[in-house]
Amino acid sequence: MNFDALIPKIGVITDIRKDTHDVKTFRVVGTDGKKPFEHLPGQCAMLSVPGVGEAMFSITSSPTNREYMEFSIKKCGCVTDVLHSMEVGQQIAIRGPYGRNFPVEEEFKGKDLLFIAGGIGLAPLRSVINYVRHYRANYGKIVIVYGARSKDDLVDIDEIKNEWMKEVNTEVYLTIDRAQEGWEGNVGFVPAYVKEIGVDPSMTAVLCGPPVMIKFTLQGLLELGFEKSRVYTTLELRMKCGVGKCGRCNVGDKFVCKDGPVFRMDELDELPDEY
Amino acid sequence: MYRIKKTDLNALYAAIAKTSGLFIPIRRADEVNFAVWGEGKEVSLETLKTVKSPKNAFFPQTENMMKFKTEGKSVEVVDIRTEDKRPFVVFGVKACDVKAFEVLDRVFLAEPVDTFYQSRRNAITVVSLACSRPEESCFCTAFGIDPTAPEGDVTTWLDGEYLYWRANNQKGEALTEKLASLLEKCGEEAVEAQRSQTKEILKRLPLAALDLSRFKEENLNELFNDPRWAELSEACLGCGACTFVCPTCQCFDIRDFKTNSGVIRYRCWDSCMYSDFTLMAHGNSRTTQMQRYRQRFMHKLVYYPAQNGGLYSCVGCGRCVNKCPQNLNIVKVIKTLGGEKS
Ligand code: SF4
Ligand code: SF4
Ligand code: FES
């Protein structure tokens, strides 16, 4: 019998890290102890809990991680609630990879890169940031702007502090929405902070986060002189099949599961406003 | 070309059913739908439109996909598909519904191939039936479909005392060979005469002049933003009837069902007309019925053709015209946003 894209394989949760009050990062391998499948930065996987259902998540780990996959998941619905209650050793079902990746080889190579994330939006960006770090010599300057509600909502702050901040030719800017004891960094929303930092409009930018953040950050970038054709983001819509058949994630003549989740801002302009 | 007396059709059905399944329009409780043939069933080839389309021959309304066995922390995926699908003949498919198979094929057989659909599809021989009495709600010709010579592995025509039979490809010839003892060779005169008669009727149908020329990719955003969607969709109940009877509607849901011996994962038809279709834990991309109504028709007339070389995902069968409890339908959409040829 042929393999069918809708039939998952078994994944084993080998590690669970509590990042914030509502975000946990799950490490997943196949039953053979190896990575369930190969992927590219920005691609997604369908995780399922038998009896509860399936949901699509962006793969947080970089493809350069040869041992396992990681998913940073925010608790916000049936499947994620159950995932959050799981323990190490639990098996789940997993299928993928799905969707179009960030053009790390085709478009990003040799460019200065600006990554802007809000909240759980860091999850898809972590994959591409760590990919670019792995092949550091192939890319120009890296600027990372990451914001969250509070300092306790910054996901995997250890990696940011211990690795990203020490990376060559890399600047990391963190911000939180409201002042908080023990926080000496910037306070304020991401869009305003990006303008303050004064980023260079010749950079290639990648935005991920809540829709309002994306909207205002994009506005700010355009005012600074960025071109839409060099600004990327990811869309998130309800998905069921992941392979462009169930009709669920249709926007205009695109399926987010197949033609996305990565889109360039000028491509989004062509789509009807329904995402 | 071959023919068989109408009075001998029962023998033909029996012969087909000997070696394969036979799916044919059958009257039951005053409703004609495609169903599995058996001795004593009332076949109704004359019925112009079955209530539901024959798409469930290879895209059933519900279909079990796999089973999970769970024990403690472990999970096992059990493949519950059977190796070979029994061959099936779908008999009496009208031109619009045959075209709809192509519309579905392009979705399910595109990479990555949907093997659930494919295994059924491959096992099926399509015997189509030409229409000789199209009615007011028919508008297949607007989509370039010729109801007098439908596609399919075999094409048939009912005329006078006979059913005429023509194989169109190898699959069709293989079936013809099996039934050789029941079929007699004949000329094409009767069929040609019927075809030109039907064509005259087609010209006079009220919906013959629908103009689709505005429904193209370059007008996508203009059509999407047209303010008239509000009035077009105002009465829509979101009942989904139009999507369930439609031969080209393909949206499905995937769900889990707990049984005593494990969890069955199945898929079932779904409808973009339902309010929870796009509902996520943190929002919904279509919150109004206007948006959902617009999605259904934009998909059929603009999005799908943009993805599939201009092929529309409506075949003009008119089922949604007949079945909508609110009298809404794709024809009103085409007339309002597209206009009619003068
Ligand atoms: S949209 Fe209506 S007329 Fe068109 S194929 Fe579907 S049911 Fe038939
Ligand atoms: S258009 Fe008619 S049939 Fe379709 S969902 Fe609305 S009310 Fe129901
Ligand atoms: S999730 Fe099914 S079409 Fe995209």
CB B87 within 8 A of CB B125: yes
**Least Cα separation, residue B294 to chain A (angstroms):** 11
Single out the residue in B171, B204, B237 at which a domain terminates.
Answer: B204
CB B123 within 8 A of CB B87: yes
In A31-50, the residues whose Cβ lies within 8 Å of chain B are 50
Rounded Cα distance, A28 and A88, in Å: 10
State the Cα torsion A150-A153-A159-A160 to the nearest 10°: -40
- Model pTM score: 0.91
In A104-163, the residues whose Cβ lies within 8 Å of chain B are none
Assigned CATH for A3-98: 2.40.30.10
> DSSP states of B152-214 as a string?
SSEEEEEETTEEEEEE-SHHHHHHHHHTGGG-EE--SHHHHHHHHHHHHHHHH-TTTTB--TT
Same domain flag for B283 and B233: yes
Single out the residue in B161, B176, B204 at which a domain terminates.
Answer: B204
- Record: fold of A113-234: Rossmann fold (3.40.50)
Whether B210 is in a domain gets the answer no
pLDDT value at residue A207: 94
pLDDT value at residue A2: 46
- Best residue among B246, B294, B301, B311 to mutate for probing ligand 1, ranked by most atoms within 8 Å of CB: B246
Beta-carbon separation of B224 and A272 below 8 A: yes
The predicted model gives B194-214 an average pLDDT of 90
Instruction: List chain A residues with CB under 8 Å of B308.
Output: none
**From A5, A89, A270, residue closest to B73, measured CB to CB:** A89
Task: Please report which confidence band the pLDDT of residue B83 belongs to, taking 50, 70 and 90 as the band edges.
Answer: low
Same domain flag for B49 and B154: yes
Q: What is the 3-state secondary structure (H, E, C) of A3-69?
A: CCCCCCEEEEEEEEEECCCCEEEEEEEECCCCCCCCCCCCCEEEEEECCCEEEEEECCCCCCCCCCE
Instruction: List chain B residues with CB under 8 Å of A97.
Output: none
Same domain flag for B163 and B274: no
Same domain flag for B181 and B315: no
Q: Is A242 left (phi over 0), alpha (psi -120 to 50) or beta?
A: left
Whether B209 is in a domain gets the answer no
Task: Please report which confidence band the pLDDT of residue B281 belongs to, taking 50, 70 and 90 as the band edges.
Answer: low
For an interface test with A, the pick among B63, B73, B270 (most A C-beta atoms closer than 10 Å) comes out as B73
pLDDT of B153-193, one tens digit each?
999 999 999 999 999 999 999 999 999 999 999 999 999 99
pLDDT value at residue B28: 93
Beta-carbon contacts below 8 Å between A and B: 131
Q: The complex's ipTM? A: 0.88
CB B300 within 8 A of CB B313: yes
The whole domain housing B67 covers: 2-204
**Least Cα separation, residue A91 to chain B (angstroms):** 5
Q: Which amino acid is at B333?
A: V
Beta-carbon separation of A6 and B254 below 8 A: yes
Q: Which residues of chain A have pLDDT under 50?
A: 1-2
Beta-carbon separation of A50 and B70 below 8 A: yes
* Number of domains within chain B: 2
Q: Which amino acid is at A129?
A: I
**From B220, B256, B291, residue closest to A50, measured CB to CB:** B256
